[in-house]
Structure 1
Amino acid sequence: MNFVAATPETDIVILTDRDREYLVRAIESAIHVRKRHQFFLWAQGQFRGVLPHEVLACIRLDKNDQLEQIEFFHGRLMDEQQQDALCHPSQGLAISLMRLCKDQGSPLLLAVAADVGGAGQAAPTELVVNFRRCALRNALVCTTDGIVGGQFAFILFDLDEGPSYRQAYFLELMLPHLQVALVRLQETGDVEIDLTFGQGKPLITDREVEILRLVQRGNSNHEIGAALGISPLTVKNHTQKIFRKLKVQNRAHAVSRCISLRVLDSMMS
């Protein structure tokens, strides 16, 4: 697998009538995205019409380069190991690609050598392993410049035709609309969650907050169990309970939701 930093501003991209039509549709419909399910439908619909892909990862860092929000949108089935390899908040493939893009330049194309014109550098072994774990073939990564309030990255996995400079140009055109839509998810909240239950007791217990903070640092179930003196199975049971309470499906979304709700502020390390 090779990667290459795309420079679409130096390559003239001529838009066809179809390109213009699909871009306008995607931009106009993005205005109405307020909730997570709306983002999913938009990403799988109008946005996918512009850039056909299988998985979209959206990442937001705060001004201190700490993870503030991470979201994944896909229509494919992924098992728990694949989700963890892709979505892990500190060691997952998506976060690793964002770091690589920040180092190498944006946009960034990743694929087998033939799909990036036979050019580029060899991807780090760890990235290649994670691509295989996730059963993914290629990626297109685009990050924003440092702005007030942090930095954003958007990653498209398994583009139908393999990543190209033309697709990198389209992703840059859509970048402001992706960014605004993602911010709305955090500002408006995509689900209503009551953080208390029964006589004002907190929905997320102190033990669950401890586990969440270790999840945020990237610890595995075994590492969390060793740190807290409980078994990995107990940790897994706690995390599943947390997922149900927060109405999420994976670790990355749980951490993102807790950051948005300021749950982790209740127990500072």
Structure 2
Amino acid sequence: MVILNSNEQEYLLHAIEKGRAVAAPRDFFLWSQGALQALLPHRVLLCLELGDDGRVRAVECLHSVTLASVQSAALCDASGGPANAWLAAWRASHGQPLALEAGEFGHGLVHGAGDVAFALLGMPYAAGAREARLLQMLIPCMQQAQQGMALQQG
């Protein structure tokens, strides 16, 4: 069982409160680089929209670092990029948050719910039980924000 310290509890509450206010892609980017970054440091966040078959239908790539166009294209390739392999490994873990080694993108963590999943890449250290639990607690907030943006754009 993971027990959060008082700072982590405060950051988590802040992230959930701010996440509920996300209404546009710009808001989501700012939230991911602020409140989410404070809890789960990462360089790249992939937002994965899943099709009825469970495969990646669309990828949105948010990053705080400059990616080469080849890297960005590879990450955003819904059919040929690495996201489907990461999702398959995540499903094999019975839907629990999955720490991964993402090649040139370093340490990562993937988790999802319903028709969305998220992959945090370029974490400064290998994700452990604490990071997995934090992502588990944030997934409903992230899912709501992603769905709200999709409704606004649609």
**Corresponding residue for 2:143?**
179
C-alpha distance in 2, partners of 1:68/1:35?
20
Aligned residues: 153
C-alpha distance in 2, partners of 1:136/1:70?
16
C-alpha distance in 1, partners of 2:22/2:112?
21
SS at match of 1:158: strand
C-alpha distance in 1, partners of 2:110/2:55?
19
Alignment partner of 1:61 is 2:64: no
**Corresponding residue for 2:134?**
170
Counterparts in 2 of 1:94 and 1:66: CA distance versus 1, 3 Å: closer
**Corresponding residue for 1:108?**
98
**TM-score normalised according to structure 2 size:** 0.91
- 1:101-250 to structure 2, matched below 5 A, reads 101-105=90-94, 106-111=96-101, 131-132=102-103, 135-144=104-113, 147=114, 151-189=115-153
**Corresponding residue for 2:30?**
41
Structure number having the greater strand percentage: 2
SS at match of 2:105: coil
Percentage of matched positions with identical amino acids: 30
Q: Is the 8 A contact 2:61 2:75 kept in 1?
A: no
Stretches of structure 2 that go unaligned for 5 or more consecutive residues are none
The C-alpha deviation readout for 1:200-247, integer Å capped at 9, x for no partner, is xxxxxxxxxxxxxxxxxxxxxxxxxxxxxxxxxxxxxxxxxxxxxxxx
Q: Is the 8 A contact 1:102 1:143 kept in 2?
A: no
Moved more, 166-175 or 135-144: 135-144
Stretches of structure 1 that go unaligned for 5 or more consecutive residues are 1-11, 112-130, 190-259, 261-269
C-alpha distance in 2, partners of 1:137/1:64?
28
Q: CA RMSD of the aligned region, Å?
A: 1.6
**TM-score normalised according to structure 1 size:** 0.54
Which structure has the larger Rg over C-alpha atoms?
1
Q: Residue type of the partner of 1:20?
A: Q
C-alpha distance in 2, partners of 1:169/1:66?
24
Q: Is the 8 A contact 1:142 1:154 kept in 2?
A: yes
